[in-house]
Amino acid sequence: MRLSATPARAALSLALIAALAGCKPGADTTAAPGPAKAEPAREIASEQGQARLTVIARGLSHPWAVAPLPEGGFLVTERGGSLRRIGADGQVSAPLAGVPAVSARGQGGLLDVALAPDFGQSRRIYLSYAEPDGQGLSGTAAAYATLGEAGLSEVTVFYRQEPKVDTENHYGSRFAFDGQGHVFISQGERTLRPLAQALDKLQGKLVRLDLDGGVPEDNPFVGQAGARPEIWSYGHRNSQGLAFDPRTGRLWESEHGPRGGDEVNLPQPGKNYGWPIVTHGINYSGQPIPEAVGKEQERMQPAHYVFEVSPGLSGMAFYTGRPGKPWNDSLFLGALAQRQLIRLQLEGDRVVGEERLLQDFGERIRDVRAGADGNLYLVTDEDDGKLLRLEPPQG
């Protein structure tokens, strides 16, 4: 394994951004896909009534994340390195200029996109991605930028996973904002399992930063020798879902597990969530995880909710604040391996029911977001990737 450290923060000039825009590995700079051609909505069966699924846009290349825009339309990332704007009518833009170069290899590429809490005034967005170092190494990185009509400006890389390593999987990565001036960034352990337990490394960690990338003074490991101050919690395998519960303000995280043992956690500051020492799963080969001692271990946090058969968890979204509606107080999770949308019914923090949706649609659900209009928006991780609208049962 080769390791290479890079500075924790850096700003990219617009000139450099322009130069990089033409050389991103795997970036799609062809003509933009068109809107979906008047496809009729599908009726989707749910335990609580009929939902409706509409294809808004298709022809996307492995879309990874969707962010609904307050003025209408969407931002969608494609793993190859393109950020696109999609209109409410399904019209897909050409790739927006100014996106940082990505390492589009294995599971790496352009990953999450999120709107800043003050997006309406600042037009700031956040991007996470697999960042190359030019020598075959890569690491999860995060940047913020100002969104314009044709592209991004004032692009600033504010977080870099250190050290960079020579594997191509388990980058994570999602953003969540706590409404108190902090951004959380989930990551994977890059298939280097022991790094998830190493506090001097950033792989397999959930980090908490100020919105501009500074380290909050009350982070749990600030001032501790041999520990990175960015860390909020550790012992994570590959965190691909992250969201705050609007009802309680608690942070929830979904973890794409090994063979068996996908899990949902409620990360607390300074806590160890066990990977690879504690797990419900085994290797994809069928062999045990070498470091694992069982499903529980003293001083390590048990999972809040476990899927003993792995759905392949990805993006997550809460659906709350709609009393009397059939899906109110639900947590939605994308499933890659099982090609479904999972709905967990909640009572407080307790999961009291589980429902599987879109079983017949047959595509990998990479991300799900709740729109201000009361609908859910999803993207499918396929060669012919789609942006979907799911209208809940009316009830």
Please write the tens of the pLDDT for every residue from 164-188. 999 999 999 999 999 999 999 999 9
Reported confidence tier of residue 33, pLDDT bands at 50, 70, 90? low
Catalytic, out of 62, 170, 236, 280: 170
Q: pLDDT band at 39, cuts 50/70/90?
A: confident
Residue 227's pLDDT band, with cuts at 50, 70 and 90, is very high
Report the pLDDT value the prediction gives residue 10, as an integer from 0 to 100.
Answer: 39
Is residue 170 flagged as an active site residue? yes
Q: What is the pLDDT of residues 71-99, one digit of tens each?
A: 999 999 999 999 999 999 999 999 999 99
Homologous superfamily (CATH) of 3-391 is TolB, C-terminal domain (2.120.10.30)
The share of the chain scoring above pLDDT 90, in percent, equals 89
In this prediction, residues 196-208 reach a mean pLDDT of 98
Q: Does residue 23 carry a pLDDT above 90?
A: no
What the block records as the tokens of 17 is 């951004």
Q: Tell me, what's the pLDDT at 36?
A: 55
pTM (whole model) above 0.95: no
The more confidently predicted of residues 395 and 272 is 272
User: Is the pLDDT at 352 greater than 90, yes or no?
Assistant: yes
Q: What is the pLDDT of residues 124-140, one digit of tens each?
A: 999 999 999 999 999 99
Residue ranges of the domains in the chain?
A: 3-391
The answer, yes or no, to whether residue 383 has pLDDT greater than 90, is yes
